[in-house]
Structure 1
Amino acid sequence: MARVSQEHLDARRRQILDGAALCFARNGFHATSMQDVLKEVDLSAGAVYRYFSGKEELIAAIVAEVLGQVHDGFEEEARNSPPPPPDILVASVLGRVLATKESLTVDGRPAFPRLVVQVWTETLRNDELAGLLREGYGAVQATWTRIVEAYQETGMMRPDVSPDRVARTMMAAAMGFLAQQALFGPASAEVLGDGLRALMSVQDHSSVNLLETRSN
């Protein structure tokens, strides 16, 4: 029997994950059966179950992959000294992640944001998935905290706000942007970057007034 190459195995696994993601984004986890997944990927049950034991394992694999991509993206940028400013950083990483999923569409619209919202909903009843999500978000938050500390050390950001709070806020901006896409339709990550850039330009009038008073 001919030996199956690792490249073939990886491609088959990718095919199954993408097909399952489309099914979940289209109908939700509970309304999707393994038969739906088999039909979507046009494979036999044996071919699919060779890689995944069922829906729960498929969901976990999809979530772990996406969180890994997000974390790796921010980790890569965190190695710069200093890291890019938040508007460029978030838009760049989120844009790259979205680009890897742009071929997945449901009714002509990107499937990935819809899938993300489905995952958030599922964590309310699935403790194992909720734990996986907490672990993944915790890793991203830890990376963002280091990035904020680098901003503060180089004078790019005011030092009187907890890095953890800034990290949570930037993550909330990215998560909210994905939720908007799921609800209202696709938008470029540049939209988020431009919005963050505008918010970053807002001046603290109390500080401005204090400086003006001292100069007079």
Structure 2
Amino acid sequence: MPRLTDARKELRRTQITDAAVRCFSRNGLERTSIADITAESGLSTGSIYAHYRNKADLVRAAAREMLHRRADTIGEYAAADVPPDPDELLSRLTAAIDPVQARVGVQTWSEATTDPAVHDIVVDATDRMRAMLHDCVTAWLVKVEHHEPDPARERATPIAHRIMALYQAELLYTALRTPHEETAP
């Protein structure tokens, strides 16, 4: 049997985690089985286990990937020549919320209360996001509002905290909406 290249392994892992996220969104973390993920991915059970030791390992990988994608988006905003103001930043973040990922994200937060590994992933990603929000707000204060860097960093702290809290509230709201409400105008 031919060996998988590193790029092919990464594609396969992404295929598996994407299938797992869809299953977790539909069925919940607890009610999703490896058989469900196998069927959703179109791969064999052996292929799943070749990449992940167990469902818990897959939950951690899916959580890590989803949380890091959000953090990466915020980093792009902060690096822009003209960073968005806080209202626009929050608007962009909430507009980009995917209902499937929001449901899994909220379930992951719950899982973080009992699984130390998931807890560490969620705390790390949340801290990274808050730091990137802080950097983005600081960049806006310096580049657009023309504040000096040190006072801008200080002023950005409570603003970034509020943006993070409102974003997380919107994630929760999106996760709690029924499928009917998601399609309503």
Common fold: TM-score over 0.5: yes
Give the alignment's Cα RMSD to 1 decimal.
Answer: 2.7
Report the Cα distance in structure 2 between the residues aligned to 1:8 and 1:153, rounded to whole angstroms: 43
Partner of 2:139: 150
Partner of 1:78: 78
1:94 and 1:7, CA in 2 relative to 1: closer, same or farther beyond 3 A? farther
Partner of 1:171: 164
Please report how far the alpha carbon of residue 148 of structure 1 lies from its aligned counterpart in structure 2 after TM superposition: 2.1
Residues 141 and 171, structure 1, Cα contact 8 Å, conserved in 2: yes
Amino acid aligned to 1:15: Q
Partner of 1:196: none
Residues 141 and 164, structure 1, Cα contact 8 Å, conserved in 2: no
Q: TM-score, normalised by structure 1?
A: 0.70
Residues 93 and 167, structure 2, Cα contact 8 Å, conserved in 1: no
Report the Cα distance in structure 1 between the residues aligned to 2:37 and 2:110, rounded to whole angstroms: 20
Q: Deviation per CA, 1:99-127: give whole Å up to 9, x if none.
A: xxxxxxxxxxx422211111111112112
Larger deviation, residues 151-160 vs 79-88 = 151-160
Amino acid aligned to 1:114: R
Q: Tell whether 2:182 aligns with 1:186.
A: yes
Q: Deviation per CA, 1:114-173: give whole Å up to 9, x if none.
A: 111111111121122111111111111111112222333346399697422211110112
Report the Cα distance in structure 2 between the residues aligned to 1:163 and 1:128, rounded to whole angstroms: 30
Larger deviation, residues 22-31 vs 160-169 = 160-169
Residues 70 and 94, structure 1, Cα contact 8 Å, conserved in 2: no
Report the Cα distance in structure 2 between the residues aligned to 1:80 and 1:42, rounded to whole angstroms: 39
Higher Cα Rg, which structure: 1
Larger deviation, residues 169-178 vs 32-41 = 32-41
Seq. identity, %: 28
Report the Cα distance in structure 1 between the residues aligned to 2:111 and 2:10, rounded to whole angstroms: 27
Partner of 2:28: 28
More helix by percentage: 2
Query: Which ranges of structure 2 fall in alignment gaps of 5 or more residues?
Result: none
Report the Cα distance in structure 1 between the residues aligned to 2:35 and 2:146, rounded to whole angstroms: 52
Please report how far the alpha carbon of residue 97 of structure 1 lies from its aligned counterpart in structure 2 after TM superposition: 6.2
Please report how far the alpha carbon of residue 48 of structure 1 lies from its aligned counterpart in structure 2 after TM superposition: 0.6
Aligned pairs for 1:1-216 (under 5 A) are 1-96=1-96, 98=98, 110-154=99-143, 156=145, 162-184=155-177, 185-186=181-182
Report the Cα distance in structure 1 between the residues aligned to 2:6 and 2:126, rounded to whole angstroms: 30
Amino acid aligned to 1:144: L
1:26 and 1:166, CA in 2 relative to 1: closer, same or farther beyond 3 A? same
